[in-house]
Amino acid sequence: MYKYSSRSALKILLPLVLLALVSSFSYMGAQSAGFRTASFQKKSLSTGITGHRLSQPSKKILVVGSSVFPPTLDPTANAAQAIDEVIDYNVLQHLVELAPNGTVIPVLATKWTTSANGTVYTFTIRKNVHFSNGDLLTPHDVVFSIDRVLRDPSYPYRDIFDVKSAQAVGDKVVVSLVQKSWSFLFDMAAYSNGVILDPSTVKTLATHPIGTGPYVVTGEVNNYSISLGLNHRYFGRLPNVGGVEFRYFTDPSAEDTALLTGQINVIDDLATPSDISLFSSAPKKYVLISGLSNGKVQLTINNAVRPFNNKLVRKALEYAINKKEVINVAAGGKSIAIGSDSVPADPYYTDLANYYPYNVAKAKALLNQAGYPNGFSTTLTLPPYYYAQLAGPIIQQELAAVGITVHIRQVSWPLWLSKVFYGGAFSLTIIDHAEARDVANYANQKYYWHFAGSAAIARQLTAANAAPTKTGWIRGMRQILREITADAVNVWLYVLPVIEVHDKGITGLPKYGYSESFDLTHVSFGGKPTPGLIAQGYSAR
Q: How confident is the model at residue 17 (pLDDT cuts 50, 70, 90)?
A: very low
Q: Is the peptide bond before 199 cis (omega within 30 degrees of 0)?
A: no
Q: How confident is the model at residue 53 (pLDDT cuts 50, 70, 90)?
A: very low
Task: Identify whether the C-beta of residue 537 lies closer than 8 Å to the C-beta of residue 304.
Answer: no
- The separation between CA 341 and the C-alpha centre of its own chain, rounded to angstroms, equals 14
Can you tell me the distance from the alpha carbon of 45 to that of 10, in angstroms, rounded to the nearest whole number? Answer: 31
Q: How confident is the model at residue 31 (pLDDT cuts 50, 70, 90)?
A: very low
Q: What's the pLDDT at 56?
A: 63
Nearest to 173 by CA among 210, 131, 137: 137
Question: At 540, which amino acid appears?
Answer: A
Can you tell me the distance from the alpha carbon of 70 to that of 90, in angstroms, rounded to the nearest whole number? Answer: 15
Alpha-carbon distance values, 258 to 95, 116, 247, 253, 488 (Å) = 37, 54, 10, 9, 43
- Residue 11 parent element (H or E): none
Q: How confident is the model at residue 505 (pLDDT cuts 50, 70, 90)?
A: very high
Can you tell me the distance from the alpha carbon of 32 to that of 35, in angstroms, rounded to the nearest whole number? Answer: 6
* Start-to-end C-alpha separation, the chain: 33
- Residue 439 parent element (H or E): none
Give the torsion sign (CA, 149, 153, 156, 160). Answer: positive
Burial zone of 438 (CB within 10 Å; 0-12 exposed, 13-18 middle, 19+ buried): buried
- Backbone torsion region of residue 488, taken as left when φ is above 0, otherwise alpha when ψ lies between -120 and 50, otherwise beta: left
Q: Tell me: pLDDT of 263 over 60.
A: yes
Q: Provide the percentage of residues in the chain whose pLDDT is more than 90.
A: 72
Per residue in 323-370, pLDDT tens?
999 999 998 888 999 999 999 989 999 999 999 999 999 999 999 999
CATH 3.10.105.10 range(s) for the chain read 292-496
Q: What's the pLDDT at 290?
A: 82
Q: How confident is the model at residue 162 (pLDDT cuts 50, 70, 90)?
A: confident
Burial zone of 277 (CB within 10 Å; 0-12 exposed, 13-18 middle, 19+ buried): exposed
Q: How confident is the model at residue 43 (pLDDT cuts 50, 70, 90)?
A: very low
Can you tell me the distance from the alpha carbon of 65 to that of 443, in angstroms, rounded to the nearest whole number? Answer: 37
Mean pLDDT in residue range 119-140 = 98
Question: At 76, which amino acid appears?
Answer: T
DSSP state of 20: P
- The separation between CA 314 and the C-alpha centre of its own chain, rounded to angstroms, equals 27
Angle at 248 between CA 245 and CA 254, to 5 degrees: 120
Q: Tell me: pLDDT of 420 over 80.
A: yes
Task: Identify whether the C-beta of residue 320 lies closer than 8 Å to the C-beta of residue 402.
Answer: yes
SS3 329: helix
Nearest to 345 by CA among 286, 389, 295: 295
Specify the CATH architecture of the domain 35-285+504-536: 3-Layer(aba) Sandwich (3.40)
Nearest to 62 by CA among 511, 530, 516, 518: 518
Helices (H), 371-506: 386-400, 413-415, 454-465, 470-486
| b/e per residue 21-34 (b: at least 16 CB within 10 A) | eeeeeebbbbbeee
Q: How confident is the model at residue 41 (pLDDT cuts 50, 70, 90)?
A: very low
Alpha-carbon distance values, 277 to 259, 266, 413, 501 (Å) = 14, 16, 29, 11
Can you tell me the distance from the alpha carbon of 199 to that of 124, in angstroms, rounded to the nearest whole number? Answer: 20
Mean pLDDT in residue range 434-449 = 90
Mean pLDDT in residue range 276-297 = 86
Burial zone of 483 (CB within 10 Å; 0-12 exposed, 13-18 middle, 19+ buried): middle
CATH (residue range 292-496): 3.10.105.10
Task: Identify whether the C-beta of residue 540 lies closer than 8 Å to the C-beta of residue 534.
Answer: yes
Helices (H), 267-422: 276-280, 311-320, 323-330, 360-369, 386-400, 413-415
- Contacts with 168 (C-beta within 8 Å, 6 or more apart), sequence order: 138, 139, 140, 142, 143
Q: Provide the percentage of residues in the chain whose pLDDT is more than 70.
A: 90
DSSP state of 88: B
Q: What's the pLDDT at 44?
A: 34
| b/e per residue 310-326 (b: at least 16 CB within 10 A) | bbbbbbbbbbbbbbeeb
Can you tell me the distance from the alpha carbon of 327 to that of 64, in angstroms, rounded to the nearest whole number? Answer: 27
Q: Tell me: pLDDT of 29 over 70.
A: no
Please tell me the least confidently modeled range out of 42-46, 197-201, 350-354, 409-413: 42-46
- The separation between CA 337 and the C-alpha centre of its own chain, rounded to angstroms, equals 18
Q: What's the pLDDT at 47?
A: 36
Q: How confident is the model at residue 23 (pLDDT cuts 50, 70, 90)?
A: very low
Q: Tell me: pLDDT of 228 over 70.
A: yes
SS3 121: strand
Angle at 87 between CA 83 and CA 93, to 5 degrees: 130
Nearest to 492 by CA among 376, 383, 313, 354: 354
Please tell me the least confidently modeled range out of 64-73, 232-241, 310-319: 64-73
For the CA atoms of 38, 164, 101, 297, the dihedral, rounded to the nearest 10 degrees, stands at 160
Mean pLDDT in residue range 466-473 = 93
Can you tell me the distance from the alpha carbon of 483 to that of 497, in angstroms, rounded to the nearest whole number? Answer: 26
Q: Residue 259: how many CA atoms within 13 Å on its side-chain side?
A: 31
Task: Identify whether the C-beta of residue 282 lies closer than 8 Å to the C-beta of residue 265.
Answer: no
Q: What's the pLDDT at 474?
A: 97
Q: What's the pLDDT at 40?
A: 32
Alpha-carbon distance values, 257 to 23, 74, 252 (Å) = 13, 31, 9
Task: Identify whether the C-beta of residue 31 lies closer than 8 Å to the C-beta of residue 226.
Answer: yes
